[in-house]
């Protein structure tokens, strides 16, 4: 029989699949919210290692989504002033909040090496992905 996979193992497989199947999904990861300390904490991810494992609410694209509860599509990161750079190869970013029983629990964060690659189809797709992820909680 197959060993039972933990939630983090499933999320890592999901990140790997998204990174492999979508050419412009070059860094794919989850951040999870700690509402007590108002910080985001890096969960499973694939792509270049990042120093930004803890992000305060309000800071960067991720921190803004923790407060806004809405998708944030950044076609060109160089045009953002409240942005946390992880790698100079990153040109664009999309962050979609993860809702569990109505609460913003965190987000899926995707960086791209391509300028302006994200469409409304990516938003709808990642909202669907997060609805499936929410079932793991
Ligand atoms: N660029 C993000 C930080 C996380 S890294 O992309 C992995 C931001 O501005 O919040």
pLDDT over threshold 80, residue 98: yes
- Mutate-to-test residue for ligand 1 from 40, 76, 85, highest number of ligand atoms within 8 A of CB: 85
Place domain 7-134 in its CATH homologous superfamily. Answer: GAF domain (3.30.450.40)
Per-residue pLDDT, 72: 98
The answer, yes or no, to whether any atom of ligand 1 lies below 6 A from the CB of 43, is no
When pLDDT is cut at 50, 70 and 90, the band that residue 2 belongs to is confident
The answer, yes or no, to whether any atom of ligand 1 lies below 6 A from the CB of 77, is no
Burial degree of 123 (CB within 10 A; 0-12, 13-18, 19+): middle
Average model confidence (pLDDT) across the chain? 97
- Average pLDDT for residues 27-39, to the nearest whole number? 98
Domain limits, the chain:
7-134
Per-residue pLDDT, 112: 98
pLDDT over threshold 80, residue 1: no
pTM over 0.90: yes
């Amino acid at each position: 029989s197959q060993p039972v996979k933990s939630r983090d193992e499933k999320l890592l497989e999901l990140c790997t699949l998204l990174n492999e199947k979508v050419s412009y999904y070059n860094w794919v990861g989850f951040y999870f919210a700690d509402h007590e300390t108002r910080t985001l904490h890096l969960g499973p991810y694939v792509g270049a290692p990042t120093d930004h494992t803890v992000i305060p609410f309000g800071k960067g694209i991720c921190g803004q989504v923790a407060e806004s509860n809405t998708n944030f599509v950044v076609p060109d990161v160089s045009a953002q002033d409240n942005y946390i750079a992880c790698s100079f190869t990153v040109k664009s970013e999309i962050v979609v909040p993860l809702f569990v029983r109505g609460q913003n629990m965190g987000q899926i964060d995707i960086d791209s090496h391509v300028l302006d690659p994200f469409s409304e189809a990516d938003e709808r797709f990642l909202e669907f992905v997060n609805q499936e992820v929410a079932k793991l909680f």
